[in-house]
A and B are shown apart, each in its own frame.
Chain A
Amino acid sequence: MINAKDILETLMMIQEEHLDVRTITMGISLLDCIDPNVNAACTKVYDKICYKAQNLVKTGEQLEREYGVPIVNKRISVTPMAMIAAACPKDSPVLFAKALERAAQTTGVNFIGGYSALVHKGFGPGDRALIESIPEALSVTDHVCSSVNIGSTKTGINLDACKLMGRIVKQAAEKTADRNCIGAAKLVVFCNAPEDNPFMAGAFHGPGEPDSVINVGVSGPGVVSAAIQKAGNCNITEVADIIKKTAFKITRVGQLIAYEASKRLDVPFGIVDLSLAPTPAVGDSVAHILEAMGLQSVGAPGTTATLALLNDAVKKGGVMASSHVGGLSGAFIPVTEDAGMIDAARSGALTIEKLEAMTAVCSVGLDMIVVPGDLPAESISGIIADEAAIGMVNSKTTAVRLIPAIGKKVGEELNFGGLLGTGPVMPVNPNSPAAFINRGGRIPAPMQSLKN
């Protein structure tokens, strides 16, 4: 018989500490849907997604019932749409976004990602048109998510793309100003974007991936902070050990669900993403883990060190628990989606500059940060370039998901509701990077890229 203590520990994790599987994401290749006739291409896209993912939501719900673990989201990621839309240069790429939206509604998934372009070394056919269409695509759809990769360690940073994305992020917010600027919350700008990331808004199905694949993202910051609190006054090495052990258990759940989902859907298992993804619910916060380690508030001196420890320990614990680890795998620090981060941003304890430092040691980047609506596009581009530089030099993924709050000033708030949460408008350094951004061109790849 299974140990009663273990059974009760699992129950406690699920019922009290918000342990969940954040997402089962099915990656689907659309490379065989390319067609110069836009209507034919959109039909192929819709048909293929609906066929491949017809049982995704049902299977997710079944697994949830059998194993008693909440599976919060069922999602789809597809081949970067710029590759498909490139064959129809005369037609608006928004038609593809609408096809994705229809497919999301038919399959019943929570999000569909992959309205994306990979332009880290330059713009290929279809890339510019797709990027220009992002604001409209995100305003006429509800479930479609978009991402653009503008740099990598191997290629350097495409500064022209940084410049373009500053304007696109702002337009995405403007076009949805009547809906809390939600468009910008569905758009991520990446450096070193992973091709197998199951998390939104940055999920897409990379061109090197198989025809279809199951990727699973786990969660459970509440479980980690509860374990640290229970341990009481121990030294930091012991804290790291506690996090490793907890991450192992959390990841094993993800591995089990991924394995079962893959078997039942007859789709190969891709990866488990080890990320600790917070939600705005009390007790499900990454910031509270750092505070449980001894910070008065996230943002205090020591924040970067505690986050580095957390990120590393999560990977060390998780990597043995899964046969394939991938995606973003680390701690997420989205401001509006994390109760502790929201409080710290409101009180002024957490600044964008501190968040930028934190992104050097954790899995993603400046995520879900609300900035003033009148912030110039060049400043957004500058923030994107800074963040991409951190990713490029450290050979890691970084991302920027800023939400310009149109018509709002520092101190006011945007409230998205649900998993996206709420957040105050945070101040940004008022000095302009415009002359730098307008130079254009490409920042050369760093020495770190020369590994051969």
Chain B
Amino acid sequence: MRAVVTVVGKDCVGILASVSAVCSECGVNITDVTQSILRDMFVMIMMVELADRSALLADFSGRLQKMGKDKGLRIQVMHEDIFNTMHRI
């Protein structure tokens, strides 16, 4: 399945590296990344592909959220269909 990882929080060194490291550990392939810094806020949107298994998603999402908590970032992993359904007819 394809999912969207969003990372929002105060900018600091190594955010992209830490998120990518978790992706790599979980065998999750990154297909696209955009990021921007608005004032001090770091916003990153990452498209990823992962095997269609609920347990994998839970593990991946759990690890990212834990890492996010340690660094004061808000990290969400969501199936891409939620965005496609809401914003496209």
**Contact surface of A with B, Cβ cutoff 8 Å:** 1-4, 6-11, 15, 62, 65-69, 249, 252-253, 255-256
Contact = CB atoms under 8 A, between A and B. Distances in A.
A351 B1 CA distance: 52
Nearest to B36: A4
Given A4-B45, A253-B82, A11 B76 contact: yes
Contact of A249 (B34, B81, B87): B87
Contacts of A6: 83, 86-87
A153 B8 CA distance: 53
Given A7-B4, A256-B85, 13 more contacts: A2-B83, A2-B84, A3-B87, A4-B34, A7-B45, A11-B6, A11-B76, A15-B74, A67-B82, A68-B79, A249-B86, A252-B86, A253-B86
B54 A62 contact: yes
23 contacts: A2-B4, A2-B80, A2-B87, A4-B43, A6-B83, A6-B87, A7-B4, A8-B43, A9-B87, A10-B82, A10-B86, A11-B6, A11-B8, A15-B74, A65-B58, A65-B61, A66-B1, A66-B78, A68-B77, A68-B78, A68-B79, A68-B82, A252-B85
B87 A67 contact: no
Interface string B5-40: 010100000000000000000000000101000000
A69 B34 contact: no
Contacts, number: 63
A298 to B, nearest CB: 29
Query: Number of contact residues on B: which range applies?
Result: 20 to 34
Nearest to B43: A8
Q: Which of A11, A69, A249 is packed against the most chain B CB atoms within 10 Å?
A: A11
Contact of A67 (B32, B45, B74, B78): B78
Contacts of B77: 68
B29 to A, nearest CB: 15
Given A1-B32, A4-B45, A10 B83 contact: yes
A68 B82 CA distance: 8
Contacts of B47: 1-2
A11 to B, nearest CB: 6
Contacts of B61: 65
A224 B78 CA distance: 22
A171 B47 CA distance: 57
A69 B76 CA distance: 11
B54 A66 contact: yes
B73 interface: no
A12 to B, nearest CB: 10
Contacts of A11: 6, 8, 76
Contacts of A4: 34, 43, 45
Q: Which of A8, A67, A69 gathers most chain B CB within 10 Å?
A: A67
B79 A67 contact: yes
Nearest to A254: B85
A260 to B, nearest CB: 8
